[in-house]
Structures are given as structure tokens and as C-alpha cells.
Structure 1
């Protein structure tokens, strides 16, 4: 039975796609047909909070004018999956800027406009992330399914910051996501050679990075 270090679950694996390859373009067409994704600079507003893009942009619009533009942040775990996260950016005089800070300190994001993906400011209902496997690892699809169930359940059972979900049910769903992600780590590790670049995006060789965290 493979042993997986808890350190693997603490890392962030998604990043701004480096290029608009065919997989990214096809994914964007599926999410928001007829609209092209754009690389935008990240210039956080001093009062903006991470993960609060809609409120951040509305505060800027109230203060300085301009417009809130709905859409999706496009992230990628290279060779593993592509993800679209419901998002909003600020538009002023035709220029789009992401004013929300991100956990990993990205200074550039790939943004896919989508005027239909509005946000419910009253109920504070978020649209769940859209994920698509790159198709290289069989374990990725079950993990995506588990994350979808967790996110859908949270949004369905919550209004704003108030949750009505049973604690044990939530814990069970979270365990399923973690177990599914563990299977992804094992799957990737089995297909990664010692001298390949590590799947955690550190830039180091696998044998000198995460290989010790997945004991096959």
C-alpha cells in the first residue's frame, strides 16, 4: 500500500497557464463559447481580500467608477487538469485589471470573460469550479467528481457564511476528496521518472523533490 506524506496535500499545484495551447483553447470554448481568454495583470487594491473578487471589484467601482466584468480564472496543473474559477475583474476605459490578490502571489492571470456568469450578491452563491482532466491519468476524473460533490453540497447548503450542512457529512465528503487526491499523487508518481521535473512545479527533479513524499 503506497504511503503518502501529508506535506503533499499542503502544496498548491495549479498555476496560470504558460501558453494558450489547444487544450486550454478547447476548454475555454466549452466554458464560454465565442469568447477568447486574455492574460491580465494583477494589481491588488490595498483593501482587497483574497477570494472576495466580487466584493473587491464592487468596492472599486463605487469608489472610482468603471465596471465589474464577470468571467473565469483559468488555472492549470500541467499534464493533470485545467480549471475555471468563477471570478470578476475591474474594467476602466476599456482596460481590464485583476484587483484581487491571490494565494500564490500571481502577478498575471488568464481571464475568460463570461457576462452570463453573474454573482448572487444577496445569497452569496458561488458557481463551483469547472475542471477537465488532461486525460493522462485515470485517477483524475474520480477526484474531480469528488470535488464537484463537495462544492455543490456546500453551495446548496449555505447562504453567505452560514452553513446548514451536518459536520459529519462535510467531513466524509472532505475525506473522499483527500483520498481521491491521494490516488492522483500515486498515479502521477508511478508515471514520473526520477530525472523528470517534479509534478509539484518546483522546477526540481522528481528524485530530489516529492519522490520521498510518495512511497510506492
Structure 2
């Protein structure tokens, strides 16, 4: 999937502060250097930190990693960091090369039980395509975590053909929306499918109905 170039907020603005306050986390936000553990996988924070604890002691600290995409939205991603024996925090999970620091908010309310925790996204613009991104991201999370799917590593082993088609639709829509936003577009931008039509008149048709399907 095409990735949005999300960044660590460069400034703790009023908007960022209000968003963090809305998380009701138990601690104040702090900046942490990225100290990637050798051989670790990007976005694999929980096993990375667990392995570190087993090897060197300390403990896992749960919280939220705060991302910002231009002036379009702010996102809180559930994240784990390593606390060493001196109670200092370290972000040891690899990031994209451009990310040198993260904004981390420790939250003792979070409990890791080997299940996904949904990201929280706030639209900070007037671009309604961001709302579409939020909706499709929520639909993907809901689909992937329904029933036994929440505990299944390879969903292709248990999905029927209708469910496969729906998951493909959701990922295709997120890919298209991501591509348009990356190019500073909106619902009225040309559809990435190269039909020549506006996205809102092409692949977005029927979106409100399809996004609410419960398969």
C-alpha cells in the first residue's frame, strides 16, 4: 500500500495539545529518539520490546505514538517502548529513515493482550477526503478484528470469496484515497484509476453504503 509521509509533529501546537488531551492518557507527551534495535522489524513494537525485556530486563511501556500528516490530520497509534532499569524510556522499533524522533504519550490505561488497538485519527482540515480515509481505516480495522479474525494471523485461510472481495475493495479504496491525499487532492480530484472522471463520480460511488457492510 502507498504510504502517507506522516511525520512526528514538529511543534506542540494548540491543535496537537487538544488532540492529546482527548486521549485521556495518564502521562504528558515526551520526545524520544529513535534507537532502532538491530534486526528488528518496523511497526513490530510489541515483540521487539518483549524480546528486549527478556534479554536485558526493564519493562514494556504502553502508550500512543503521535503522527501528523501535513495540515490534514493527526493520528495516535498504539505503541510500546522499552523502559530500562534506570526507568529511562527508549523507542527501539525501527521507523522510516526520515523519522529521528517520536512524540510519545505513555498511557497506563492501555493493556497489551496480543490484539490490535485501533488508531485514533482527527481530521484537522476542511478536506472531506480525510473523512473518507478515517472511515475506510475504521472499516478495515473492524473487518480484520471481527470474531475469530482478531486471533487469526493469515486471514486468507478463513475468508470466503465474498469477504475476500470486500477486503480487496477496502484496501483498494484506502490505496486510492492515500494516493490522492499524497498529491494534495480532494474528492473532486481525478480518480487514480485513470478513467478521466473525478474520484467522487467514479470509484467513490456507493462508498457510504459499502463502507458499512458487516461481512
Q: How big is the shift at 1:182? A: 5.2
CA-to-aligned-CA distance 1:102-121 (integer Å, 9 cap, x gap) = 13452211111111222213
Given that 1:42 and 1:100 are in contact with CA atoms closer than 8 Å, whether structure 2 keeps it comes out as yes
Pick from 65, 68, 72: which aligns with 1:73?
Answer: 65
Question: Which residue in the other structure is 1:44 paired with?
Answer: 36
Provide Cα deviations, 1:146-170, integer angstroms capped at 9, x if missing partner.
1111122112224252313432121
Distance 1:20 1:188, change over 3 A: farther
Aligned to 1:10, which of 2, 15, 31? 2
Corresponding position of 2:109: 116
Indicate conservation of the 8 Å contact 1:86/1:127, yes or no.
yes
Q: Is 1:138 matched with 2:128?
A: yes
Gapped regions of structure 1 (runs ≥ 5): 1-8, 191-214
Go from structure 1 to structure 2 and tell me whether the alpha carbon gap of 1:88 and 1:150 turns closer, same or farther (over 3 Å shift). Answer: same
> Normalized against structure 2, the TM-score is what?
0.75
1:176 counterpart = 2:173: yes
Query: 1:78 deviation in Å?
Result: 1.9
Alignment of 1:196-211 (within 5 A): none
In the TM superposition, residue 188 of structure 1 has moved relative to its aligned partner by 9.2
Higher mean alpha-carbon deviation, 38-47 vs 10-19, is at 10-19
Give deviations 1:6-64, integer Å, cap 9, x for gaps: xxx73532111101111111111111345311100111111322111011111111111
Question: TM-score w.r.t. structure 1 length?
Answer: 0.75
Corresponding residue for residue 186 of structure 1:
185
Deviates more, 1:60-69 or 1:157-166: 157-166
Q: Could you say what secondary structure the match of 2:174 adopts? A: helix
Gapped runs of 5+ residues in structure 2?
A: 190-196, 199-215
Counterparts of residues 53-92 of structure 1 (less than 5 Å): 53-92=45-84
Distance 2:187 2:11 in 1: 22
Distance 1:54 1:134 in 2: 29
Cα distance in 2 for partners of 1:18, 1:160 equals: 37
